[in-house]
Amino acid sequence: MARQVTVGGVVTAAREASSGGLTPHRHRRSEVSVLPHRRVPRLRLRDWRIRTKLATVLAIPSMAFVALAVVQIGALVGQATVLREFARQVAIGEHITALVHELQQERDRTVGELAERRAAPNRYDAITGSAALRNHYDAVDQAIVEFRAAAAALTRRDASWRAPYARAVEALDELPALRTAVANGAADVATALGGYGRAIEALLALLAEPEPRAEYPELTDAVSRYVQLARIKEISSLVRAQISLSARAGRYTSDTLAELGDLRASHHTAVADFRAIATDEQVSRYKAVTEDPRFRAAVALEEEAVGAAGRPVVPNATDWWALSQDRHELLRTVEQEVLSDAIAQAEGQRAAQLQRTLLVGAVVLIVLCAGALASIVVGRSIVRSLRALRNQALQVARSDLPEALERLRSVHTEIPEITIPPAAVQSMDEVGEVAEAFVAVHRSAVSVAREQAAMRRNVNAMFINLARRSQVLVERQLEILDELKRDAHGAQQMEKLLKVDRLAARLRRNDENLLVLAGGDATRRWARPVGLPAIMLAAIAEIEQLAAAQREAPEHPLPFINT
């Protein structure tokens, strides 16, 4: 059976395996892939990028903090809004008390005119009385216009203000009809007192409407103080009206005396209640007013008129009106001061609450900005370290380590020194430790590769040494065989020597193949070209089964091959 051998293919395969038995896996740089299993989109948490994870970790507590801050600031803004509306309601108290003051003036003057006209219709001067009332009508109308202008905006914003405001406006709208009835003589004293009383009571109820939250009891007390003082002033005005109508009529009725007794008792109770809730400064101011000579004169005339000594005396109408008017104006002064205190206190609380709201908002903003800045700085530091570690790992995997292995794999003489770059991250944290560990792994891989290169070089040197020694022995054997062939006698002996010669030639070829496998060069060289027929004949001569080979001469000479 004929066998065909391809020498070139064997040599090529041998050169590929010349590194010996410790051949590592070889990859091209373009074939190196990092995380080839990564797919997009990455829905699993563990597949997220570090930057996304850091952003999520920082965003969740930041959002929670912002939510809590918004709730807190919203509560503070709500309190500030309540205090702002409260301060506006208290400020409208100036217009309410001014209107009540003018209504009290008109009422007390009106009942006096009605009492005199009913008691002495022949002596009553209607023109003078109408002129006196006209001045009060104008003052009340002007106060109503100012009151409505001030309360209109608040009524549109505050729903709780609308119902009491509507009742007050309804009572004020009845004044023109009441005035007409007074002018025509169709209204009596009771009707006038009832009509004006409803308007004043509605306004006093509106005056007491401002109500802060339960956490501001001092503001509730401030409202109670000026409302209580307005009640004292109203009772004093009713006392003036009862005595004035009696003085204009020239006598007391039993109902009037009973009403005066009830009013004086209510006055003492109201004053005691005011002293209980008023501040020391307000009590001192009220006491200073009551010690005013004009106030004392009015009180003395009142006690004389109601019969504090047991016998009521009808005072002079002009004197009583003058003294009671002075007392009324003094009470109005105290009322304005107490109301101003309440307005200032409400404005102070509103301003303080607004300042607290702004301060909390500023603190929240500063903390949020500082936290965000610190988070960004820390996050950038972590991401920067991880990115540097990643770049170094990719550089080693794609370039540095393959190049180093290639250099060590192709070395045949002295093994070169491979420089390992230091860690890209020099920090003392876990990332820095990982970077140092990666450099240590890189250094270990290069060290193992250098050891393999040294081992391959030693093995190759050993094979080359053995092959050259064997070549020397084979050459000597061939020389001896040549001598034996020259001295041989007989065809049978010559045939046996040729067989031995061919075996020796195969041994020489095996030695040359071993040199090639070990990275050495063949020792046989020819200085001149050798003809291809000679090469073929030499190759055929080395075939052990020479009889199976056929030799035919070509028609044309073949070219020479320089080996």
CA–CA dist 203, 148 (Å, integer): 12
CA–CA dist 8, 436 (Å, integer): 48
CA–CA dist 185, 548 (Å, integer): 164
471 close to 511: Cβ distance less than 8 angstroms: yes
Residue 8 in any domain: the answer is no
Q: What type of residue is 545?
A: Q
Count CA atoms within 13 Å of residue 155 on its CB side.
15
Tell me: the pLDDT tens digits for 126-168?
Answer: 777 788 899 999 999 999 999 999 888 887 777 778 889 999 9
Q: Where does a domain end: 321, 349, 367?
A: 367
Question: Which among 153, 169, 259, 157 is positioned nearest to 205, based on CA atoms?
Answer: 169
pLDDT(292) > 90: yes
Coil/strand/helix, residue 5: coil
Confidence of residue 321 (pLDDT cuts 50, 70, 90): very high
Q: What type of residue is 139?
A: A
Q: What is the mean pLDDT of residues 25-50?
A: 56
How many domains is the chain partitioned into structurally? 2
Q: What is the mean pLDDT of residues 341-365?
A: 88
Residue 59 in any domain: the answer is no
Residue 140 in any domain: the answer is yes
Q: 217-249 and 50-119 helices cross at what angle (nearest 10)? A: 10
**Got the DSSP string for 390-452?**
HHHHHHIIIIIHHHHHHHHHS--SSPPPPPPPPPS---SSHHHHHHHHHHHHHHHHHHHHHHH
Q: Which residue has the higher pLDDT, 36 or 17?
A: 36
Q: Where does a domain end: 367, 386, 403?
A: 367
Residue 181 in any domain: the answer is yes
Q: Cα angle vertex 470, ends 23, 4, to 5°?
A: 65
pLDDT (0 to 100) of residue 141: 95
pLDDT (0 to 100) of residue 217: 87
Q: Which residue do the tokens 């709201």 mark?
A: 357
Give the range among 5-19, 53-67, 196-210, 339-353 with minimum mean pLDDT. 5-19
- Residues sharing a CB contact under 8 Å with residue 319, sequence separation 6 or more, in sequence order: 301
Residue 358 in any domain: the answer is yes
Q: What is the mean pLDDT of residues 501-517?
A: 80
48: phi then psi, degrees, rounded to nearest 5:
-70, 155
Best-predicted range by mean pLDDT among 152-166, 361-375, 525-539?
Answer: 361-375
pLDDT (0 to 100) of residue 71: 87
Residue 479 in any domain: the answer is no
- Residues sharing a CB contact under 8 Å with residue 551, sequence separation 6 or more, in sequence order: 537, 540
Q: What 8-state DSSP symbol labels residue 125?
A: -
232 close to 278: Cβ distance less than 8 angstroms: no
Residue 330 in any domain: the answer is yes
pLDDT(15) > 60: no
Kindly compute the dihedral angle of the four CA atoms of residues 162, 165, 166, 167, in this order, to the nearest 10 degrees.
Answer: 130
Q: State the residue range of the domain holding 76.
A: 66-367
Q: How far is CA 240 from the centre of its chain?
A: 66
Q: Where does a domain end: 330, 347, 367?
A: 367
Give the range among 16-25, 384-393, 548-557 with minimum mean pLDDT. 16-25
pLDDT(563) > 80: no
Residue 89 in any domain: the answer is yes
pLDDT(479) > 50: yes
Q: Which residue has the higher pLDDT, 4 or 342?
A: 342
Give the range among 41-45, 439-443, 456-460, 473-477 with minimum mean pLDDT. 41-45
Question: Which among 324, 230, 319, 329 is positioned nearest to 273, based on CA atoms?
Answer: 230
Q: Which residue has the higher pLDDT, 544 or 196?
A: 196
- Average pLDDT score over the chain: 81
541 close to 502: Cβ distance less than 8 angstroms: yes
